[in-house]
Amino acid sequence: MDRLTIRRPDDWHLHLRDGAMLSLVAPLSADMGRALVMPNLVPPVVTGAQAAAYRDRIVAAGFARPLMTVYLTEGTDPADLIAAHAAGIVTAVKLYPAGATTNSGSGVQRFDAIRPVLEAMEEHGIPLCVHGEVTDPDIDVFDREAAFIDRRLMPMRDAHPDLKITMEHITTVDAAAFVRETGIGATITVQHLMANRNDMLAGGMRPHFYCLPILKRRRHQEALRTLATSGATNVFLGTDSAPHPTHVKEAACCAAGCLTAPIALAAYAQVFDEEGALDCFEGFASLNGPAHYGLPPNEDRVTLHRGDPIAALPALERGETVVTPFDPGRPIRWHVEGNGGC
Ligand code: DOR
Ligand code: ZN
């Protein structure tokens, strides 16, 4: 198969930022119908009113159909959440353990404190998206996801069996097994499917591969590729495309995040092609996510074809803001038609 037409995909995990960066990156997700937009701005999006205002800024910047999240804190007001969800302003709530990643300082430290909010979400059918890493400094950074499953996720599922959970950007054999066994939702990024920690660290340290959860060993990458292309209906596309200015990535202390939006759809298609699973691509990219969130799939279609390798993208600039798109370091041969580059 060297040509494929599928329902238009959605991106179930996207960072768009604000201001100049927002206007620079919003158009880069044009292949996607909808995107679930993360709330880790500075300061974070913590109320329904803030989510509505951010939604308007995103639409003005050129991405037409954002779906909004709010950032869960120990002070989240369940009534505000319930009202914003019922009004269609908020699609899901994002849980960051405090200190786990970029702009997570307002996240959750005392998990007991969020019990009432999780109970309200469970009762009202409000989905929870989880950044699944512990922040305990005694836990090695490569083990933080596996520890989170044992210490946090399993107890959370037991305490809130009807809460709809998405484990975001899974990176390990352990998470893949947990997702298979439990059937909870999960997203997988392009970089975790296309790369492992050797790509980031062997022969020199490449900051544009640095994200959180961090890239793991090859055997973890292989488990993710197997799961993504298995036809499992609880696993879906979420890029976690996360722009940082180039000077912040290429620094002594590099920020976590890969700007994958411009190549994401083509790169996912390449992975499915390499795994001989293009027949499962529409499920992963366009059907499983909407089904998880109780939304209809997109009606329009997108066509991709295999051809010559796409050229590495240059840095993108707007005024003082410069960003470097993610380059997996090997050719991507899939092209999204109608996307300039095909
Ligand atoms: O690599 C990451 N970047 N992981 C996250 O969880 C957050 C994101 C960001 O906002 O930059
Ligand atoms: Zn993210």
Confidence of residue 311 (pLDDT cuts 50, 70, 90): confident
Q: How far is CA 302 from CA 4, 117, 285, 298, 299, in A?
A: 8, 39, 11, 10, 10
What pLDDT sits at residue 312? 86
Phi-psi group of 9: left, alpha or beta (phi > 0 → left; psi -120 to 50 → alpha; rest → beta): beta
Q: What sign does the CA torsion over 140, 109, 123, 158 have?
A: positive
Q: How far is Cα 83 from Cα 48, in angstroms, rounded to an integer? A: 8
Has residue 148 got a pLDDT over 90? yes
Cα radius of gyration rounded to whole Å, the chain? 19
Has residue 342 got a pLDDT over 60? no
What pLDDT sits at residue 339? 62
Atom in ligand 1 nearest the alpha carbon of residue 255: 11
Q: Is 43 exposed, middle or buried (0-12, 13-18, 19+ CB in 10 A)?
A: exposed
Listing DSSP states for 15-80 in one string gives ---SHHHHHHHGGGGTT-S-EEE----SS---SHHHHHHHHHHHHHHT-S-EEEEEE--TT--HHH
Task: State what percent of residues in the chain have pLDDT above 70.
Answer: 99
Pocket lining: 15 vs ligand 1, CB cutoff 6 Å: yes
Atom in ligand 1 nearest the alpha carbon of residue 131: 6
H or E element: which one contains 220?
Answer: helix 218-228
Has residue 340 got a pLDDT over 80? no
H or E element: which one contains 140?
Answer: none
Spot the catalytic one: 10, 199, 240, 273. 240
Pocket lining: 249 vs ligand 1, CB cutoff 6 Å: no
The answer to whether the beta carbons of residues 93 and 85 sit under 8 Å apart is no
Q: What is the 242 CA–ligand 2 centroid distance (Å)? A: 7
Mean predicted confidence (pLDDT) in 104-120: 95
* Helices 218-228 + 173-182 axis angle, to 10: 30
Pocket lining: 146 vs ligand 1, CB cutoff 6 Å: no
Q: How far is Cα 170 from Cα 133, in angstroms, rounded to an integer? A: 10
Ligand at shortest distance from the CA of 258: 1
DSSP state of 340: S
Strand order in the sheet with 334-336: 3-7, 301-306, 334-336
Residue pLDDT, tens place only, 215-256: 999 999 999 999 999 999 999 999 999 999 999 999 999 999
Catalytic residue status for 300: no
Phi-psi group of 203: left, alpha or beta (phi > 0 → left; psi -120 to 50 → alpha; rest → beta): left
DSSP state of 279: G
Mean predicted confidence (pLDDT) in 149-166: 97
Return the closest-CA partner of residue 24 out of 224, 318, 302.
Answer: 318
Q: How far is Cα 331 from Cα 67, in angstroms, rounded to an integer? A: 32
| Helix (H/G/I), strand (E/B), else coil: 95 | strand
For the chain, what is the mean pLDDT? 97
Report the 10 Å Cβ neighbour count for 249: 21
Confidence of residue 13 (pLDDT cuts 50, 70, 90): very high
Question: Is the pTM here over 0.95, yes or no?
Answer: yes
Q: Which CATH superfamily is domain 3-336 in?
A: Metal-dependent hydrolases (3.20.20.140)
Confidence of residue 315 (pLDDT cuts 50, 70, 90): very high
Has residue 180 got a pLDDT over 70? yes
The answer to whether the beta carbons of residues 132 and 165 sit under 8 Å apart is no
Highest mean pLDDT range out of 230-234, 307-311, 312-316? Answer: 230-234
Pocket lining: 131 vs ligand 1, CB cutoff 6 Å: yes
Q: How far is Cα 71 from Cα 317, in angstroms, rounded to an integer? A: 29
Residue 214 structure tokens: 């961090």
Residue 309 structure tokens: 């390798």
Q: What is the 16 CA–ligand 2 centroid distance (Å)? A: 10
Mean predicted confidence (pLDDT) in 106-123: 96
Q: What sign does the CA torsion over 145, 150, 156, 161 have?
A: positive
Residue pLDDT, tens place only, 261-299: 999 999 999 999 999 999 999 999 999 999 999 999 999
Has residue 16 got a pLDDT over 60? yes
Mean predicted confidence (pLDDT) in 67-91: 98
Burial 122-160 (b: 16+ CB within 10 A, else e): beeebbbbbbbbbbeeebeebebbbbbbeebbeebeeeb
H or E element: which one contains 92?
Answer: strand 90-95
Residue pLDDT, tens place only, 18-42: 999 999 999 999 999 999 999 999 9
Residue 276 structure tokens: 């001989």
